[in-house]
Amino acid sequence: MTRTAAAPRDARLPEGDDKHHAVEAMFDRIAPGYDRLNRIISLGQDRRWRRHTVAALGLPAGATVLDLGCGTGDLCDVVTADGYAAIGVDFSAGMLAAAHTRAPLARADALALPVPDASADGVVSGFALRNFVDLPRFFRECARVLRPGGRLAALETGEPASPLLRVGHHLWFRRVVPLVGGRLAHDAEAYQYLPRSTAYLPPPDDLLALVEAAGFTSVERRTFTAGAVQLVTGTRR
């Protein structure tokens, strides 16, 4: 049976408005060192994953692309480098204050974008899905702002299919990452939350079903780094 929303399996994870406020406050706190920690935690692979995400759009040069949950603007920079017009959106004032991109940025909730219908050619997001309060609503909002034929590319964490690799991934992501984050960012709570927040994500088939139900066709899922990262793409009907 396909679920219509990702129900966290971890009772310690906040939901609804509590989640919204907790996630916003967390990203405000960790914004200054966020990029450096990303490089360390991903072993430098995050740049490659972002390039794959933008390449999957396949849009004409000059297309307008929204980066939802843009953080400090890493993905915006890749969007711009590929010849698109990037606009970043994030609800964390701390992240936007720490942003380094030259792309225009707006503080807004990705579930209620201040954007007209059918006004964007593409939407990307980088490791943001599990931080949204309502995934079905997020995908519907993406469909609303995209023109027919527009493209969605959402990058997120995944889980290796191989049992052996899955053990190694869990060890790194759930044990090493919180330790490194706690030491370097001096915020153990945030880097304990981030690995646990994968519980908000539905299984792959359910995730693809949510995208299709929101108004997308040609919905596909690719994985990188032995399945530790997933990329979901779709075309607006």
Residue 138: pLDDT above 50?
yes
Cα separation, 108 vs 97, in Å, equals 14
The pTM score is 0.93
Residue 236: pLDDT above 90?
yes
Task: Let me know if 185 is exposed, middle or buried by CB neighbors in 10 A (0-12, 13-18, 19+).
Answer: middle
Closest CA to 41 of 216, 155, 175: 175
Confidence of residue 5 (pLDDT cuts 50, 70, 90): very low
Confidence of residue 6 (pLDDT cuts 50, 70, 90): very low
**Cβ contacts of residue 169 below 8 Å, gap of 6+?**
159, 160, 226, 227, 228
Tokens 């966290």, residue? 8
The CATH architecture assigned to 16-236 reads: 3-Layer(aba) Sandwich (3.40)
- How high is the pLDDT of residue 9? 56
Cα separation, 76 vs 106, in Å, equals 12
Q: And the tokens for 195?
A: 């690995």
Closest CA to 73 of 38, 48, 102: 102
Helices (H), 56-203: 74-81, 93-97, 135-145, 163-171, 177-184, 188-196
Cα separation, 111 vs 108, in Å, equals 9
Render pLDDT for 186-210 as a digit per residue (tens, 0 to 9). 898 999 998 899 999 999 999 999 9
Confidence of residue 185 (pLDDT cuts 50, 70, 90): confident
